[in-house]
Structures are given as structure tokens and as C-alpha cells.
């Protein structure tokens, strides 16, 4: 009788914190996890697979490289067990490796992956960007370079995890990883398995909602990551979310707007919460980017036969002058997503992962550190050097060690072809950083006067230059010191790169103009 009461209390505690809904419901016979029952000793053993140097006593070669087109097996584990924690940090030549490195997981010998996603999107950061994430099941720190995952992932017989480098030319120079798991005597018979699937529509298809999930079987839906790259001005997120449970003709769960589904309101702004957040929010201009997450850990959407999850791609549309022409109209923005769910049995395949170069907007990248020899400083004689650091694209930046409040720097660059798109500058923030104004070919950046590059710790800041239409040939970036933050130690300027996303604007339908 006492034992039954203890088991009942354990089940109630697990239900309160949401763990019972993630790995079956027989909590009393399953191993402890996620802090729900750590005071009870249970059968099981903590295990780890890592990239540790095989010569662990004397060696420090703790990383694995992945050449273009190759796949690295991260873990090959015999069950039964439950993966409790995954950690990665990566140094890759591709500045957008978050989209070109693909994470896959296979349970119990199945040929099709239960998890298939670019690594950045799996950890809630889209577009191949590096961003900070602080949520309950996943987190990203160290300037967007340290990835942690706490989704519990049970497997009865076998678990295999791989990371593929789908880039055609860039090497992943070093991949560090931990896979922490519990080796257990057995799993409950009704255990549901973890799944995650990336999907994209570039652009979202007019006349139909964007599909997040199309699942068959029994299980529960536990999360959404959505990334949007806008192709017109204006707010994109008036679309509602719809959940069709067990073959419903009409969705029993219906939303009131994109930001509402992601637990925000009146648009988006960047923030992180345990169960929802906005990790990328550029703004409401053409070519702006968004990445948001919503975890259904406290409110999983359960299904017995099937579940279809959709979201509309509707919102405001602006003409070339910025005038709003519609408040609720289908937009052809670039949509990408990851759906997360647990289910029993073999999952239905509802999406195909595109090649790496189709997962990102084509980008023209001008590495400005390569132009250190052609750059001109005022006053003459101030050091202009190229320095190395892993946080920069290409692993280097151009550093102007300016100590003069009237300092100027001119950097000429050449384009081999006509280039149109959304331009951005990547600049370093640091304790010595000054305040700088920027012009491109003598023109001040629209809506931008100066950027304060002071920060107590070194980092990278991206600023929007805006839509550009640059002819092949010579061009000039000019930087003029505007002073410094009172806390700054000097007036230094660090420049990583100029990028131009070659986005095709969406033509506003004539009847809407």
C-alpha cells in the first residue's frame, strides 16, 4: 500500500513538471530524468559518447573534422537507454554552417531518420545565423557557438546519431561533442520516441497554408521553430496556427496570429523564455529575418491517429514607397521550420531536406580583411592589420587601431558582377571599440548615422546597409569616427565582412496596388 502511494505521488510530480508526457506515462518504472525524481535511487548507469582524444591520458585532439560531402557518426549506442543531454561546439569554414551541417538521429535500427534538421535550426536558430538561445530544452551560448539539448530521447535497442557536412566546398574543421545518456534495464512498453523534422518553402506557396507537421500514429506534439525571410516590406505575421487532431475536417485548435502562437503580442522583439522566444528579429523591411520558438512542454498536443499542424503566411504588404496596401493578405516570404514531437511506431515521412545551397538565400561575401593592404587611414600611420579569431567569417577581420577621435578609414573593394540585394556589415564589438559612421560609395546608410562598437567583451554586431544595386567594378566603404562611449578604452574599428543577400523581392499584385 505504501509503495503504491509513493508511485502515485511520483506520477503526480512528473505530470506537474511535464515529463510524463515526454517519455511515456509509466514514470514509476522509468529512470529518473530532468530533475523530477533525483531523490530516488533507480537502476541505470550514466554513460557518455564524446569526441575525446582516444589517447585521453596524454592527448588533446578532442575534435573531429568533416570534409565537404562527408558524414561523421557521432554516436552508435546499444540500448535500452535514454539520451539526456547533447552538446556541440563547431569551427567551420562556412559562415552559415548552421544550415549546411545536418543532424540526423535513428532509433532501433530504422533506416529513415527520426530527427533530420540543419543543426542551427534544430537548436532554434534559423538562416545559418549564430544567436543566443536560453530555453528549457535547448540553449545556445558562446556567441552562438555552443549548443546544448535536453530533450529526453529513449531508445530500446539502438541509437545512431550523425552529422553531415552538406557544403560543397567548406570544411568543418573541428566538431566537438558530448552525448550523455542513461543505460537502463528496460523502457516502458508505451514509450514514445523523439522526432524532429526540418521543412521549408522558398517561397511559401500561395493558395495553401504552410505545413509544419503531417504525422500518423499516436503521440504528442512538443515544439515549433519557425524562421522567415521577408520578400516585401511590412509585418508578415498575421497568419493563424491550426491543429487538425485525428483527421479532423476543421481544426480543434485555432490561433489568432503568428506572434500570438509564439506567445508574444503586437509583433516580435528579441527575447528568450523557457518555453517561447524570439532569437532573430531584424525588423519589417524587405530582406529582414525572423526566428522564433514555441515549446509545448507544459501543453503537449496529443493525438491518437494523426496530427496535421499548419500556419498561414498572411500579413501586411507595403508598396515601394512603404505605404501599407493590405492588412491580411497572403505573402510569398521564405518559410522554414522544425517540428518536434514524440510518437510510437514508425513515423510518416512528410518532408525532404533540400541540398545545402537551397537552404539559404544566395550570398555575396566580401571579406574586408583581405583588403588591409589597399585600405587608407587618416591620420596616416595608424595601424591597419588583419587578425585571426574564430568568431569572424573566414576566421579573420580587418582591425583599425585608431586612437584619434578624428580618425577615418577608407576600404576599396571590387565586384566581379552586378549585384543586387540586401547588404549588411559585420563589425566587431570590443572594450576598445569607438563610435563610427559609415558610407557606401559616398552615400550614408539609410536610417543609420553611427554605430557604437563598445562592449565589455569581444563580439560581432551586424548592421543593415539596406537594398543595394551595385554594378560590377570598384566601390568604396568609408568609416568616420564619431567619438567613443565613455566606457570605451579607445576608438578602434574592427570589420569582418560585407554581405549581400541576393533576395528576389516579391512583386505586389497589381490589384493590391
**Chain segment 264-301, per-residue pLDDT in tens:** 999 999 999 999 999 999 999 899 999 999 999 999 99
pLDDT, residue 306, reads: 98
Per-residue CA distances from 175 to 117, 137, 148, 165 (Å): 17, 21, 14, 11
- Whether the per-residue pLDDT at 86 is higher than 90: the answer is yes
What Å distances lie between residue 433 and 193, 284, 410, 483, 493, CA to CA? 49, 28, 17, 10, 6
- Mean pLDDT in residue range 232-237: 91
Instruction: Average the pLDDT over 42-57 and give the result.
Output: 92
Q: pLDDT tens across 400-423, in order?
A: 999 999 999 999 999 999 999 999
pLDDT on residue 448: 72
* Least confident piece of the model among 18-22, 101-105, 159-163: 18-22
Alpha helix (H) residue ranges in 438-491: none
Decide if pLDDT at 53 tops 50. Answer: yes
Which tens digit of pLDDT belongs to each residue from 490-508?
A: 999 999 999 999 998 887 6
- CB proximity list for 33: less than 8 A, separation 6 or greater: 19, 23, 82, 84, 152, 182
What are the percentages of helix, strand and coil residues in the chain, rounded to 5?
10, 45, 45
> DSSP H helical segments within 430-469, as ranges?
none
Residue 357 has pLDDT above 90, yes or no: yes
For the stretch 129-141, pLDDT in tens is 999 999 999 999 9
The mean pLDDT of the chain is: 90
Residue 380 has a pLDDT of 85
Whole-number pLDDT of residue 11: 34
pLDDT of 16 higher than 80: no
Amino acid at each position: 500500500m505504501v509503495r503504491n502511494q509513493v508511485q502515485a505521488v511520483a506520477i503526480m510530480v512528473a505530470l506537474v513538471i511535464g515529463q510524463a508526457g515526454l517519455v511515456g506515462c509509466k514514470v514509476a518504472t522509468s529512470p529518473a530524468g530532468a530533475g523530477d525524481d533525483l531523490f530516488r535511487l533507480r537502476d541505470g548507469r550514466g554513460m557518455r559518447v564524446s569526441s575525446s582524444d582516444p589517447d585521453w591520458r596524454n592527448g588533446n585532439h578532442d575534435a573531429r573534422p568533416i570534409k565537404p560531402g562527408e558524414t561523421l557518426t557521432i554516436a552508435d549506442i546499444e540500448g535500452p537507454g535514454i539520451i539526456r543531454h547533447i552538446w556541440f561546439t563547431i569551427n567551420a569554414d562556412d559562415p552559415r554552417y548552421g544550415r549546411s551541417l545536418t543532424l540526423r538521429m535513428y532509433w532501433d535500427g530504422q533506416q529513415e531518420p527520426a530527427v533530420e534538421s540543419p543543426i542551427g535550426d534544430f537548436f532554434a536558430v534559423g538562416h545559418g545565423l549564430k544567436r543566443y538561445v536560453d530555453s528549457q530544452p535547448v540553449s545556445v551560448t558562446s556567441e552562438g557557438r555552443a549548443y546544448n539539448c535536453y530533450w529526453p530521447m529513449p531508445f530500446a535497442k539502438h541509437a545512431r546519431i550523425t552529422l553531415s557536412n552538406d557544403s560543397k566546398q567548406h570544411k568543418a574543421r573541428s566538431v566537438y561533442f558530448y552525448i550523455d545518456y542513461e543505460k537502463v534495464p528496460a523502457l516502458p512498453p508505451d514509450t514514445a520516441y523523439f522526432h524532429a523534422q526540418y521543412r521549408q518553402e522558398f517561397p511559401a506557396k500561395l493558395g495553401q497554408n504552410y505545413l509544419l507537421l503531417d504525422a500518423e500514429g499516436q503521440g504528442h506534439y512538443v515544439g515549433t521553430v519557425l524562421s522567415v525571410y521577408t520578400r516585401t516590406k511590412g509585418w508578415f505575421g498575421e497568419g493563424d496556427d491550426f491543429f487538425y487532431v485525428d483527421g479532423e475536417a476543421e481544426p480543434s485548435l485555432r490561433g489568432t496570429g503568428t506572434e500570438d502562437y509564439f506567445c508574444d503580442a503586437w509583433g516580435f522583439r528579441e527575447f528568450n523564455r523557457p518555453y517561447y522566444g524570439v532569437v532573430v528579429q531584424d525588423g519589417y523591411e524587405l530582406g529582414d529575418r525572423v526566428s522564433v520558438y514555441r515549446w509545448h512542454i507544459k501543453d503537449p498536443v496529443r493525438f491518437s491517429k494523426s496530427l496535421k499542424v499548419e500556419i498561414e503566411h498572411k500579413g501586411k504588404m507595403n508598396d515601394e514607397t512603404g505605404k501599407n496596401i493590405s492588412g491580411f493578405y497572403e505573402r510569398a516570404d521564405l518559410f522554414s521550420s522544425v517540428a518536434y514531437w514524440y510518437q510510437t511506431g514508425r513515423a510518416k515521412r512528410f518532408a525532404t531536406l533540400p541540398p545545402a545551397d537551397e537552404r539559404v538565400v544566395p550570398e555575396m561575401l566580401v571579406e574586408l580583411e583581405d583588403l588591409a593592404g589597399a585600405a587608407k587611414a587618416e591620420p596616416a600611420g595608424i595601424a591597419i592589420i588583419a587578425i585571426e579569431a574564430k568568431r569572424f567569417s573566414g576566421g579573420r577581420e580587418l582591425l583599425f587601431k585608431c586612437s584619434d577621435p578624428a580618425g577615418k578609414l577608407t576600404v576599396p573593394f571590387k565586384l566581379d558582377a552586378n549585384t543586387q540585394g540586401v547588404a549588411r556589415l559585420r563589425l566587431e564589438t570590443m572594450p576598445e571599440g569607438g563610435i563610427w559612421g559609415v558610407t557606401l560609395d559616398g552615400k550614408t546608410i539609410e536610417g543609420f548615422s553611427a554605430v557604437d562598437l563598445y562592449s565589455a567583451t569581444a563580439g560581432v554586431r551586424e548592421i543593415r546597409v539596406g537594398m543595394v544595386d551595385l554594378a560590377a567594378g570598384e566601390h568604396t566603404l568609408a568609416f568616420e569616427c564619431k567619438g567613443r562611449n565613455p566606457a570605451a578604452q579607445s576608438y578602434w574599428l574592427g570589420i569582418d565582412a560585407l554581405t549581400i543577400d541576393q533576395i528576389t523581392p516579391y512583386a505586389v499584385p497589381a490589384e493590391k496596388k
